[in-house]
Amino acid sequence: MTLEDTPTRRQLIGSALGAAVTLAGASQLFGSADRVAALSSAVMRPGAATKPAVRLAITDKLTFPVDANPIYGTLVCLNNFGGRSTANGPCSHNGVDIGNDKVSGRGRPLLACVDGVVHKDEAFSTGGLTRILRDGIGTYYRYHHLDSYESSLKEGDPVTAGQVIGTMGNTGNTVWSHLHFEIWQDSLTPSRATIIDPVPRLWFPHGVTLRAPTACAT
Ligand SMILES: [Zn+2]
């Protein structure tokens, strides 16, 4: 007969629920002072577990798309998705801008934010030199204003999160060297895509400042 089969245990559970169990009865059943103490504690404090709960660390945060090593200078991420401009009010901005706080960040390594592939390399008059990554579920990560592509990579090549994919620059419509970073879900066609705020998705390394923008940055 197993412990679970004994009428005594069923009775004990029923008693415990009614907070009427006796330590003598529990001691006879379990034969362990520790178990009795734990049970007693649980009975005295309804809802308390005999072991601390463990929260599993499940995260889908993206690798920060710029190398945060301070040897390249202090990094700032403008919290300007959707045009959160304290100076100009609403303005159109589909991503966030990440750049150096003081000295120019031109040439700073840009990193793959996710495991995926190089989907497309393209140059725009506004976005400048652009590299787009795609992950396994059809989300696109757009890197704009690059100074240069990592030349060992070409369209279709796999990338691993944290891998250097290019360098920060100021190509296109911008006045400072920075990364304009966007996340497009499902499609690169504006009418079909859902463009989301990267900030909640990013894992911010120590030392990177998230700052409210003062203008409608590009
Ligand atoms: Zn921008």
CATH of the domain at 147: 2.70.70.10
Are 22 and 78 in the same domain? no
Are 204 and 104 in the same domain? yes
Are 124 and 178 in the same domain? yes
User: For position 150, what pLDDT does the model report?
Assistant: 98
Are 136 and 178 in the same domain? yes
Are 144 and 181 in the same domain? yes
Number of domains within the chain: 2
Are 142 and 202 in the same domain? yes
Q: How far is the CA of 182 from the centre of ligand 1 (A)?
A: 9
Rounding to the nearest 10 degrees, give the CA dihedral for residues 124, 126, 129, 133.
-80
Distance CA 150, CA 110 (A): 9
What angle do the packed helices 23-30 and 33-44 form, to 10 degrees?
Answer: 140
Are 139 and 202 in the same domain? yes
Rounding to the nearest 10 degrees, give the CA dihedral for residues 142, 144, 147, 153.
20
Q: How far is the CA of 143 from the centre of ligand 1 (A)?
A: 10
The pLDDT tens digits along the chain (218 residues) read 444 444 444 443 334 433 333 333 333 433 444 443 444 444 445 455 566 666 555 568 999 999 999 999 999 999 989 876 566 566 778 999 999 998 899 999 999 999 999 999 999 999 999 999 999 999 999 999 999 999 999 999 999 999 999 999 999 988 899 999 999 999 999 999 999 999 999 999 999 999 987 776 66
Domain that residue 166 falls in = 70-211
Q: How far is the CA of 184 from the centre of ligand 1 (A)?
A: 14
Q: How far is the CA of 174 from the centre of ligand 1 (A)?
A: 8
User: For position 26, what pLDDT does the model report?
Assistant: 38
Q: How far is the CA of 159 from the centre of ligand 1 (A)?
A: 24
Are 86 and 140 in the same domain? yes
User: For position 169, what pLDDT does the model report?
Assistant: 97
Are 78 and 176 in the same domain? yes
Q: Choose among 36, 66, 42: nearest CA to 144.
A: 66
Q: How far is the CA of 96 from the centre of ligand 1 (A)?
A: 5
Does residue 50 sit within a domain?
no
User: For position 49, what pLDDT does the model report?
Assistant: 55
Does residue 8 sit within a domain?
yes
Does residue 195 sit within a domain?
yes
Are 110 and 179 in the same domain? yes
Give the CA count within 13 Å in the CB-facing half-sphere of 134. Answer: 14
User: For position 17, what pLDDT does the model report?
Assistant: 37
Q: How far is the CA of 97 from the centre of ligand 1 (A)?
A: 5
Are 33 and 76 in the same domain? no
User: For position 52, what pLDDT does the model report?
Assistant: 64
